[in-house]
A and B are shown apart, each in its own frame.
Chain A
Amino acid sequence: MTVKALYDYDFPSADRAEVFGDDQLVYVLWDGNPLLCSAACFRVPKHMPFGEFLSTVVHPWAASDPDFDPAAVHNWRLFDEAIDPEADRSLAELGVGHKALLLFSTH
């Protein structure tokens, strides 16, 4: 179904990929940790290596929980698919696109 209107109803998405240039939005959920209420939303370069993404973006955020232990992070998923991301590959190479959701567990 489409929007009923008196005119041709056609507007661009507010958060389409091109708005973010060489960057993109990525969501990260610490699955099973109720201390942090939801996934976080980050703006990061598409070509940032996964290792750098972890150390400069994900770990500082996850440290919101003082019990966070980076060594315990495992079971990465991209949406519903299990993935095993290598630290030197970029988000784009790993298939992590604009507005993708990454999940991890710690136990």
Chain B
Amino acid sequence: MTIELSKTARKKLPLKERYARLTRDLDWEPSYVAREELFPYTRYEGIKIHDWNGWQDPFRLTVDAYYKYQAEKDKRLYAVLDSFAQGQGHLTLSDASYLNAVKLFIQGVTPLEYAAHRHFAFLARHLEGPAPRFAALCQSIDELRHCQTQIHTISNYNKYYDGFHSWSKMYDRVWYLSVPKSLLDDAMSAGPFEFLISISFSFEYLLTNLLFVPFMSGASFNGDLPTMSFGFSAQSDESRDMTLGLEAIKFLLEQDDDTVPIIQDWIDKWFWRAYRMSGLVAGMMDYMLPKPVMAWNEAFELYFEDQMLGGLFPDLKYYGIKPPRHVDDAIAEKDKLSHDIYRILHNFSFAAALTTQTPSETHMAWLSEQYPQTFDRYYRPVWEKHRRIEASGGRVFFQGLPQLCQVCQVPMAFSEASDPTQICLRRSEFRSETFHTCSDGCKWIFDREPEKYVQAWLPVHQIHQGNCGGRSIPEVLAWYGIQDGDNGEYKGSPDQQAWASWHADETGPVK
């Protein structure tokens, strides 16, 4: 009898029904408390949802299937990590300076994955429909997996190179990492629908190809097999997460006409927030890769102008959604962004957990080919001055702290669209206090919710308040967890010297 029963139970249901049983069928109508009490966060943002069941499940994934797929992906990734470590892969990179890109990744991107994991877990509890709750649950686990696999992938380099040791502490403390951290904090402290538009749509859908893919293709071109394999392993998750973003926005727009202006506002805000952060990626792409893949301006044209403005936004027009408010400013600065950003890192790498260097002649020749409109005219003269100073034994570092943008927290180093020699300075007054922003986009975001951004934890102001271990640079670096050799100039750094000694006995030119 028992055997009979278990045989019946093991009989497989058709996939669609099985999915329904394991997801939506597990939902119930609350009877002890009101719906509003069970889901307190889904009304105050002004979004009206009339039918939570209108959410289409793009993947029809169940928990058991999800874990099976992910386990297989992990198995393949960890095989690559083992063989890279056993084959002394850290010696076969294009150059040790390449790892500055990976340092930026583990310090600035990996903690974002963890923060996203936390907040998608929150959405998996608090969205009202079972389908979006389940999609948020899967994405929460995706993000945790990305965080873990990134740590495992990159930890091998920590055995041989500087700057990889204290990234999670640094994410909470170091000035340039406050750029990604404050963005995620901004999203997590918003309501659940704004979070969906900020992270699932603007971040995962609109800009993922600009924020994430450049690191992976950089890895592929520069001999970093583990990071490249991690990228492949995450890619199928990313496409599922992108679909969630698109599904979320279409679902919200279809529910009620009153929703359209709210969503438009969030797209306007979050495009600019994510785009400003992507400046760090632009600097990485054009300046940190010994073997560059593609220049920022070209990637921007392909992944953003062609795919998003040319492909996605014409579709969204049907719902009454326009391209992001400050998109023309982003287009106008595509030939300047990476140079403006790398100049910041170059000025301040004494206080960073990565090193920087003045581009070589060959590198500058590549940059002037990629940026015929701007490089030779505006940026080459600056780098040549650095080279002259360095030839006589100097190295320019900024002997002080920079003015930061109140919103994006990047030093105020961006130039006016009309004149690359003029720094873009914007300001607002709120409760008799002045607040400085780096662009019309950041000023618009500040003026929209000044009560939120006046609370910003600006690293420079915090140092001046004495909240960062002290007010001298050595005290601050100690508090950041930055050790000698993590920071400063690449040439002559411990990484560069170790690399040279590891390759000194090779025949042929020393790398």
Residues of A at the B interface (CB closer than 8 Å) are 1-6, 9-17, 19-20, 25, 27, 29, 31-32, 34-43, 60-61, 63-66, 79, 97-101
Could you tell me if A10 and B465 are in contact, using CB atoms closer than 8 angstroms?
no
**Size bracket of the B interface:** 35 or more
Could you tell me if B343 and A34 are in contact, using CB atoms closer than 8 angstroms?
yes
Flag B411-452 by CB within 8 Å of A: 1 or 0 each: 111000000010101010011011110000000000011011
Could you tell me if A40 and B451 are in contact, using CB atoms closer than 8 angstroms?
no
Within the complex, the shortest CB–CB distance from B34 to chain A, in Å, comes to 15
A6-B44, A39-B423, A64-B400 as given contacts; A1 in contact with B344, CB under 8 Å: no
Within 8 Å by CB of A64, from B399, B427, B448, lies: B399
**What would 8 more interface pairs be, CB under 8 Å, given A13-B433, A39-B402, A60-B399?**
A11-B451, A11-B455, A29-B423, A34-B378, A34-B382, A37-B411, A41-B401, A41-B464
How many angstroms between the C-alpha atoms of A32 and B382 in the bound complex?
Answer: 12
Could you tell me if B399 and A63 are in contact, using CB atoms closer than 8 angstroms?
yes
CB neighbours (8 Å) of A38 from chain B are: 344, 402-403, 411-413, 423
CB neighbours (8 Å) of A99 from chain B are: 433-436
How many angstroms between the C-alpha atoms of A63 and B471 in the bound complex?
Answer: 20
Could you tell me if A3 and B449 are in contact, using CB atoms closer than 8 angstroms?
yes
CB neighbours (8 Å) of A11 from chain B are: 451, 454-455
Could you tell me if A36 and B191 are in contact, using CB atoms closer than 8 angstroms?
no
- Considering only residues 375-405 of chain B, those with a C-beta below 8 Å from chain A are 378-379, 381-382, 385-386, 389, 394, 396-404
Could you tell me if B396 and A65 are in contact, using CB atoms closer than 8 angstroms?
yes
7 closest residue pairs by CB, A with B: A13-B454, A39-B403, A43-B464, A37-B413, A38-B413, A40-B400, A38-B411
How many angstroms between the C-alpha atoms of A32 and B41 in the bound complex?
Answer: 49
How many angstroms between the C-alpha atoms of A11 and B425 in the bound complex?
Answer: 26
Could you tell me if A2 and B451 are in contact, using CB atoms closer than 8 angstroms?
yes
Could you tell me if B398 and A13 are in contact, using CB atoms closer than 8 angstroms?
no
A2-B451, A13-B455 as given contacts; A25 in contact with B46, CB under 8 Å: no
| CB closest residue in chain B, given A13 | B454
Could you tell me if A14 and B401 are in contact, using CB atoms closer than 8 angstroms?
no
Say yes or no for B361: interface residue by CB 8 A criterion: no
Within the complex, the shortest CB–CB distance from A99 to chain B, in Å, comes to 5
A20-B464, A99-B434 as given contacts; A4 in contact with B401, CB under 8 Å: no
Could you tell me if B40 and A10 are in contact, using CB atoms closer than 8 angstroms?
no
Could you tell me if B434 and A98 are in contact, using CB atoms closer than 8 angstroms?
yes
CB neighbours (8 Å) of B465 from chain A are: 15, 19-20
How many angstroms between the C-alpha atoms of A15 and B456 in the bound complex?
Answer: 9
Say yes or no for B160: interface residue by CB 8 A criterion: no
Say yes or no for B241: interface residue by CB 8 A criterion: no
Within the complex, the shortest CB–CB distance from A55 to chain B, in Å, comes to 15
Could you tell me if A5 and B44 are in contact, using CB atoms closer than 8 angstroms?
yes
